């Protein structure tokens, strides 16, 4: 029995006046680093859950797309933010995951994210292969961004070891440090999979001249075909002031996952509150405008938690065939 099963097995839940009631019940929501896009939304979710579910204390904790899946599996947290492709890899035990995470369940699909690679406008980097020998920040080891970066350059025909062997380096730092390094001239490329536009790229866009690297359409199509959970994404020219044309890239749906042992009634209530709090979450971050109940199943490549499914059934939301 994993830690999460032990934790929830000790809790006796009942529905009283429409609320899930249990003294000192805790739900931990793993998001991004505190400076990342997910964290403020996770913190608002925690506030909404704590305020509206009697006896529940929810809190947001820092994390990463890969580690969040493992932490949900192991009972370190109850809910995790991740991407559809990362959840799929985790459930199957593929890619960065050594073991299958079979206790992880789908809860909700949120907004789409695009893989973005920014370089100084004066740089001689124009294609992905030009990153060989350069100083690159692709995210921390347990972040989905780093996993995506390795997959994408692998499809292009090289690895992070090739970058290093040619005199370059991989900087495993967070968004704010990546921005600072690039501003100071100590970083050649900043790559991550995130919402479009994203605050860190907007900061760079407003303080220095940058360009965004496209992914060759042939490479993109082949990559999507070989990696379930990814989709084609276009970064519109309107997203950043330095863009004068759309940028073709890949992306994935941001999703929430939950441990299978979290009680159905509690997951139902959290799912309901999530979708009934659109205005509060939109006020927290504008990217919530792209979150839509009819697309709640988008990217659901792993089993759906029964509590979430119950809510979606009531709302007439159907999974894609």
What pLDDT, on a 0 to 100 scale, did the predictor assign at position 228? Answer: 78
Which of 149, 144, 134, 143 is CA-nearest to residue 188?
134
Residue 196's alpha-carbon distances to 56, 61, 235, in angstroms, are 33, 23, 7
Question: How far is 121 from 242, CA to CA, in rounded Å?
Answer: 9
Question: How far is 61 from 9, CA to CA, in rounded Å?
Answer: 23
**Residue-wise pLDDT tens digits, 54-66:** 999 999 999 999 9
- In CATH, the number for domain 3-111+255-314 is 3.40.190.10
Question: How far is 57 from 321, CA to CA, in rounded Å?
Answer: 37
Which residue numbers in the chain have pLDDT < 70?
1-23, 320-321
Q: Which fold is adopted by the domain 113-252? A: D-Maltodextrin-Binding Protein; domain 2 (3.40.190)
Task: Give the pair of three-digit tokens for residue 315.
Answer: 């709302």
136's CB contacts (< 8 A; 6+ apart) are 149, 163, 168, 169, 170, 171, 187, 188, 189, 190, 191
What pLDDT, on a 0 to 100 scale, did the predictor assign at position 21? Answer: 46
**Residue-wise pLDDT tens digits, 268-305:** 999 999 999 999 999 999 999 999 999 999 888 899 99
Question: How far is 141 from 36, CA to CA, in rounded Å?
Answer: 15
What pLDDT, on a 0 to 100 scale, did the predictor assign at position 80? Answer: 99
Residues of the chain with CATH 3.40.190.10: 3-111+255-314, 113-252
Residue 255's alpha-carbon distances to 79, 81, 194, 318, in angstroms, are 10, 6, 12, 16
Residue 183's alpha-carbon distances to 67, 167, 178, 206, in angstroms, are 29, 21, 9, 11
The residue to which tokens 């109940």 are assigned? 293
């Amino acid at each position: 029995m994993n830690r999460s099963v032990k934790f929830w097995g000790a809790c006796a839940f009942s529905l009283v006046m429409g609320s899930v009631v249990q003294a000192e019940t805790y739900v931990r929501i793993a998001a991004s680093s505190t400076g990342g896009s997910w964290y403020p939304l996770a913190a608002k979710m925690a506030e909404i859950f704590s305020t509206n579910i009697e006896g529940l204390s929810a809190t947001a904790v820092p994390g990463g797309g890969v580690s969040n899946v493992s932490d949900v599996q192991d009972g370190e947290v109850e809910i995790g933010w991740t991407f559809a492709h990362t959840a799929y890899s985790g459930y199957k035990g593929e890619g960065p995951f050594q073991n299958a995470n079979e206790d992880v369940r789908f809860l909700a699909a949120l907004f789409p994210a695009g893989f973005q690679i920014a370089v100084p406008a004066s740089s001689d980097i124009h294609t992905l292969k030009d990153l060989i020998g350069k100083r690159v920040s692709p995210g921390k080891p347990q972040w989905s961004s780093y996993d995506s970066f390795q997959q994408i350059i692998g499809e292009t025909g090289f690895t992070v070891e090739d970058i290093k062997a040619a005199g370059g380096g991989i900087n495993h730092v967070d968004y704010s440090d990546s921005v600072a390094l690039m501003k100071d001239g100590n970083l050649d490329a900043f790559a991550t999979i995130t919402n479009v536009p994203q605050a860190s790229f907007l900061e760079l866009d407003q303080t220095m001249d940058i360009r965004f690297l496209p992914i060759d359409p042939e490479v993109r199509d082949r990559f999507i075909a070989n990696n379930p959970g990814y989709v084609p994404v276009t970064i519109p020219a309107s997203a950043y002031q330095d863009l004068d044309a759309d940028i073709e890239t890949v992306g994935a749906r941001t999703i929430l996952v939950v441990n299978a042992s979290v009680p159905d009634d509690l997951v139902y209530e959290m799912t309901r509150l999530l979708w009934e709090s659109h205005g509060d979450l939109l006020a927290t971050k504008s990217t919530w405008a792209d979150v839509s109940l009819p697309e709640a199943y988008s990217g659901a490549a792993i089993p759906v938690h029964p509590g979430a499914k119950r809510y979606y059934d009531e709302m007439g939301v159907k999974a894609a065939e």
